[in-house]
């Protein structure tokens, strides 16, 4: 007897929805649906909370946002008569309980719904305060003779939901995701999911792509057969669709050519580029303006901005004082010319002189200190904000994670801005990224190839240039030492003894711990920046400002 294979053709849509843009996201879904029909797919799969965007945070607590999202999905359902089915993410209100749901649209109606059960409540997530967990029987539907189970994002990180779906007869799982990128994410996904792969349930992982405030989503959608064979359907940090066929008889997927993922510094650089570009574009700024000091942080920030937005939308401004070296003037101009962006010089000396005159009576009899240094930094912030207000460009601040950690930054000065592309990169990582960018043009970058950061910027000793012959290592340990201590204190939450065991000086470690804690109030006022590591300042690490704890 001839046995017909049950083959399900699925279009996986790895798209970039905008949080709160329900009509715009509905338009994206319709475009993908038109492609699904054209390619004779049986099912279109869209990512987690697609219609409202992810993460929508407390927007989910606004009844009208949920109602309009549900209405948009109901409208889309009516367009599925005679065409492929759709699985789309949407907040769904049931008797006053709002769920994080994936909704099945089929034959012109809402044909079913899966509610997320494992609500993450750690790190950057706090879904338990805005969603009710799913209950009841696991969601399994049949399409073209294939029994399909649905597990939403966090549901796949634990055995409970996949095993219950298998027990309900699911031959494969579809996993809509809003899974943010960090440098360890691929290893985490693959090692964690392997804990229940032995159950032999094939799955299709469909993730969103794009930047949303401090998070960036990589996409990287893929499928896994029942024997563990992987099919990398789509690349990272780019939108796209992939048609994949699932054979219910063999438990395997068939797809086109395997996509490739970026790794190492390129992945981290592309994450920063995508995050900054989406922050600027989704908030509809015409471009960005930044202070170009001739140092490595501003040079790398300018390169990321040009790669994200194009040189014509990036404005670099050198704001020299009497302490600015000729090398810095030359290097800042050379970097801007290499990148091809607009470059201006605005001398802040007249402003510094004016403040000296204004404060002369109050400061009489005192010695110059960080007060006078901070006046320079704040005048630069004021200058950039004036340009921003006049022309609409968003100010990009340029501080790195090492500086943010120990408070080596000036409130309302060099911390002034709307976004910080380097916020989660330690200083040693900034150097490595700059050297890497000089050798490679990243995939999708809008900037030029070749050297874009003068070598002298990378090799000269870092300095804020706020006083005569100033260097960062006058007040901080060398950055390789500082960053190792900070990784222990911040990313790993290590005890002081663990850090000292690596050979660090006890007085240095305790001083850095103290600086870390007392700078919390500054970080609370810092602009957002993309998360790339295990624990970023902002969404991940939330310490009290008033805090007398020290690790004794």
Residues 323, 264: Cα–Cα separation, whole Å:
37
pLDDT number for residue 203: 93
Is-above-0.75 flag for pTM?
yes
pLDDT value of position 465: 66
Q: Could you tell me if residue 507 is inside a domain?
A: no
Q: What is the CATH number of the domain that holds 32?
A: 3.60.110.10
Q: What is the pLDDT of residue 199?
A: 63
Give domain status of residue 43, yes or no: yes
Say if residue 172 carries a ligand binding annotation.
no
Q: What is the pLDDT of residue 228?
A: 84
Structure confidence at residue 190 (pLDDT): 77
534 a known binding residue? Answer: no
Q: How far apart are CA 355 and CA 350, in angstroms?
A: 9
Check whether 296 is labelled as a binding-site residue: yes
CA dist., res. 299 & res. 489, Å (int)? 28
Position 542 scores a pLDDT of 82
Query: What is the predicted pLDDT for the residue at 174?
Result: 96
What is the CB-side half-sphere exposure of residue 36 using CA atoms within 13 A? 28
322 is in an annotated binding site: no
Cα–Cα distance, 313 to 288 (Å, whole number): 6
State which H helix or E strand residue 180 sits in: none
Question: Where is average pLDDT lowest: 75-89, 136-150, 156-170, 279-293?
Answer: 156-170
**Is 398 annotated to bind ligand?**
yes
Tell whether 179 is in a known binding site: yes
Closest to 111 in 3D by CA, of 146, 139, 151: 139
292 labelled ligand-binding: yes
Task: Provide φ and ψ at 92, rounded to 5°.
Answer: -135, 120
Predicted local distance difference test score (pLDDT) of residue 5:
60
Nearest CA to 246 out of 254, 237, 238, 236 is that of: 254
Task: Out of 70-74, 122-126, 276-280, 332-336, pick the least confident.
Answer: 122-126
Are residues 127 and 99 both part of a single domain?
Answer: yes
Q: What are 350-366's pLDDT values in tens digits?
A: 999 999 999 999 999 99
How confident is the model at residue 1, as a pLDDT? 37
Q: What is the pLDDT of residue 419?
A: 97
Which among 502, 496, 503, 488 is positioned nearest to 534, based on CA atoms? 488
Query: What average pLDDT score do residues 376-401 get?
Result: 96
Percent of residues, the chain, with pLDDT higher than 90 = 80
In a domain, 228, yes or no: yes
> Where does a domain end: 418, 445, 472?
472
CB 386 within 8 A of CB 494: no
Half-sphere exposure (Cβ direction) of 415: Cα atoms closer than 13 Å:
20
CATH code of residue 397: 3.40.50.620
- Joined together, the tokens standing for residue 442 give 């990243």
- The annotation status of 295 as a binding-site residue, yes or no, is yes
Q: Please determine, for residue 197, whether its predicted confidence score (pLDDT) is greater than 60.
A: no
More confident residue, 338 or 462: 338
Are the CB atoms for 75 and 60 separated by under 8 Å?
Answer: no
Write out pLDDT tens, residues 343-354.
Answer: 999 999 999 999
3-state secondary structure of 487: helix
**For position 551, what pLDDT does the model report?**
84
116 is catalytic: yes
Let me know: does 124 contact 178? Beta carbons within 8 Å: no
Q: In 387-420, which positions are buried (b, 16+ CB within 10 angstroms) versus exposed (e)?
A: bbeeeebbbbbbbbbbbbbbbbbbbebbbbbbbb
Q: What mean pLDDT do residues 309-323 have?
A: 96
Angle, nearest 10°, between helix axes 349-358 and 370-391? 120
Do residues 235 and 272 both lie within one domain? no
> pLDDT (tens digit, 9 = 90+) per residue, 498-538?
999 999 999 999 999 999 999 999 999 999 999 998 888 88
48 is known as an active-site residue:
yes
Q: Are residues 367 and 274 in the same domain?
A: yes
Query: Is 161 in the same domain as 43?
Result: yes
Examine the domain organization and report whether 269 and 186 are in the same domain.
no
Tens of pLDDT, residue by residue over 30-84, are: 999 999 999 999 999 999 999 999 999 999 999 999 999 999 999 999 999 999 9
Is 291 marked within a binding site? yes
- pLDDT grade for 3, boundaries at 50, 70 and 90: very low
DSSP-derived 3-state class of residue 13: strand
Write a three-state SS string for 400-462: CHHHHHHCCCCCCCCCCCCEECCCCCCHHHHHHHHHHHCCCCCCCCCCCCCCCCCHHHHHCCC
**Is the N-terminal amide bond of 55 cis, ω within 30° of 0?**
yes
Number of structural domains found in the chain? 2
- Asked if 329 contacts 294 with a C-beta cutoff of 8 angstroms, the reply is yes
pLDDT confidence bin for 453, thresholds 50/70/90: very high
Collapse the DSSP code of 224 into the 3-class scheme (helix H, G, I; strand E, B; otherwise coil) and give the result. Answer: strand
The β-bridge partners of 291 are: 317
* Annotated active-site residue in 116, 166, 427, 535: 116
Is the same domain home to 199 and 269? no
Q: Is residue 496 part of a domain?
A: no
Give me the pLDDT at residue 2, please: 41
- Say which residue, 150 or 466, is predicted with more confidence: 150
357 and 313 in a common domain: yes
For residue 315, the 8-state DSSP code is E
Find out whether 289 and 315 touch, Cβ atoms under 8 Å.
yes
Same-domain pairing of 320 and 209? no
Arithmetic mean of pLDDT, 5-14: 92
Residue ending a domain, choose from 453, 472, 491: 472
In a domain, 484, yes or no: no
- Please say if the pLDDT value at position 472 is more than 90: no
Same domain for 322 and 450, yes or no, is: yes
Which SS3 state, helix, strand or coil, does residue 467 take?
coil
Same domain, 326 and 429: yes
Query: From CA 345, how far away is CA 256, in angstroms rounded?
Result: 52
Whether residue 223 is contained in a domain is answered as: yes
DSSP per-residue letters across 91-154: EEEETTEEEEEEEEEETTEEEEEEE--S---STT--GGGT-PPP-SS--EEEETTEEEEE--GG
Residue 18, pLDDT > 50, answer yes
pLDDT(198) > 60: no
User: Which pLDDT value is given to residue 233?
Assistant: 96
State residue 125's pLDDT score.
83
From the list 179, 99, 178, 108, the residue with the least C-alpha distance to 139 is 99
Residue 522 annotated as binding site? yes
Same domain? 93 vs 170: yes
CB atoms within 10 A of CB 189: 18
Q: Does some domain include residue 337?
A: yes
Under a CB-based contact definition with an 8 Å cutoff, are residues 221 and 248 in contact?
A: no
Strand-by-strand arrangement of the 7-14 sheet: 109-115, 97-106, 85-94, 43-45, 7-14, 240-247, 252-254
- Average pLDDT in the chain: 92
Q: What is the mean pLDDT of residues 273-287?
A: 97
Task: State residue 196's pLDDT score.
Answer: 52
CB neighbours of residue 502 within 10 Å: 11
Q: What is the distance between the alpha carbons of residues 312 and 340, in angstroms, rounded to a whole number?
A: 8
Q: Is 277 known as a binding-site position?
A: no
For the chain, percent of residues with pLDDT exceeding 70 = 98
CB-count exposure of residue 64 (10 Å: 0-12, 13-18, 19+): exposed
| Cβ neighbours of residue 188 closer than 8 Å, sequence gap 6 or more | none
Asked if residue 75 belongs to a domain, the reply is yes
Q: Is 545 annotated as a binding residue?
A: no
Mean pLDDT across the stretch 326-331?
Answer: 94
Q: Is the pLDDT of residue 389 over 90?
A: yes
Q: Among the three residues 188, 220, 250, which one is the final residue of a domain in this structure?
A: 250
- Its domain, for residue 280, covers 265-472
| Residue of 90, 114, 153, 316 marked catalytic | 153
In this structure, the answer to whether residues 370 and 314 fall within a common structural domain is yes
- Is a pLDDT exceeding 90 seen at residue 468? no
Dist. CA 167–CA 335, nearest whole Å: 60
């Amino acid at each position: 007897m001839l046995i017909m294979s049950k083959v399900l053709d699925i279009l996986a849509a790895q798209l970039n929805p905008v949080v709160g843009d329900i009509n715009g996201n509905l338009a994206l879904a319709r475009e993908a649906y038109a492609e699904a029909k054209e390619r004779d797919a049986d099912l279109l799969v869209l990512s987690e909370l697609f219609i409202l965007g992810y993460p929508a945070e407390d927007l989910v607590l606004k009844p009208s946002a949920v109602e309009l999202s549900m209405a948009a999905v109901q409208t889309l359902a009516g367009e599925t008569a005679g065409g492929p089915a759709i699985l789309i993410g949407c907040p769904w209100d049931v008797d006053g309980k709002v769920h994080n749901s994936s909704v099945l649209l089929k034959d012109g109606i809402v044909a079913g719904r899966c509610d997320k059960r494992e609500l993450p409540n750690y790190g950057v997530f706090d879904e338990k305060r805005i969603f009710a967990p799913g209950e009841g029987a696991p969601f399994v539907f049949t399409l073209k003779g294939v029994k399909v189970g649905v597990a939403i994002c966090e549901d796949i990180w634990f055995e409970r939901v996949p095993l219950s779906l298998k027990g309900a007869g699911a031959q494969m799982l579809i996993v809509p995701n809003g899974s943010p990128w960090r440098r360890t994410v691929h290893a985490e996904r693959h090692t964690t999911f392997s804990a229940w792969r032995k159950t032999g349930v094939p799955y299709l992982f469909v993730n969103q792509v794009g930047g949303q405030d401090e998070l960036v989503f990589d996409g990287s959608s893929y499928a896994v057969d029942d024997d563990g064979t992987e099919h990398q359907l789509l690349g990272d940090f780019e939108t796209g669709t992939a048609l994949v066929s699932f054979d219910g008889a063999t438990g395997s997927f068939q797809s086109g050519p395997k996509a490739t993922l970026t790794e190492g510094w390129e992945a981290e650089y592309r994450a920063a580029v995508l995050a900054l570009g989406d922050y600027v574009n989704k908030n509809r700024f015409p471009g960005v303006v930044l202070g170009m000091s001739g140092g490595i942080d501003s040079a790398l920030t300018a390169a990321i901005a040009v790669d994200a937005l194009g040189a014509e939308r990036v404005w670099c401004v050198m704001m020299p004082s009497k302490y600015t070296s000729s090398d810095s003037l030359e290097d800042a101009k050379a970097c801007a010319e290499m990148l091809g962006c607009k470059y201006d010089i605005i001398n802040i000396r007249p402003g510094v002189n004016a403040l000296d005159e204004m404060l002369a009576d109050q400061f009489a009899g005192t010695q110059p200190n960080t007060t006078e240094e901070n006046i320079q930094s704040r005048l630069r912030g004021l200058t950039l904000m004036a340009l921003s207000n006049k022309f609409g460009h968003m100010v990009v601040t340029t501080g790195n994670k090492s500086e943010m950690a120990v408070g080596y930054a000036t409130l309302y000065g060099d911390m002034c801005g709307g976004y910080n592309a380097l916020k989660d990169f330690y200083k040693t990582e900034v150097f490595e990224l700059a050297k890497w960018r000089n050798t490679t043009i990243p995939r999708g970058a809008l900037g030029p190839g070749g050297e874009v950061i003068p070598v002298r910027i990378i090799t000269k000793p870092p300095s804020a240039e706020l006083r005569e012959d100033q260097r960062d290592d006058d007040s901080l340990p060398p950055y390789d030492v500082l960053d190792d201590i900070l990784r222990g204190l911040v990313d790993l939450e290590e005890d002081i003894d663990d850090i000292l065991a690596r050979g660090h000086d006890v007085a240095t470690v305790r001083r850095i711990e103290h600086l870390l804690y007392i700078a919390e109030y500054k970080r609370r006022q810092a602009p957002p920046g993309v998360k790339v590591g295990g624990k970023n300042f902002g969404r991940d690490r939330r310490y009290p400002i008033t805090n007398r704890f020290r690790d004794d």
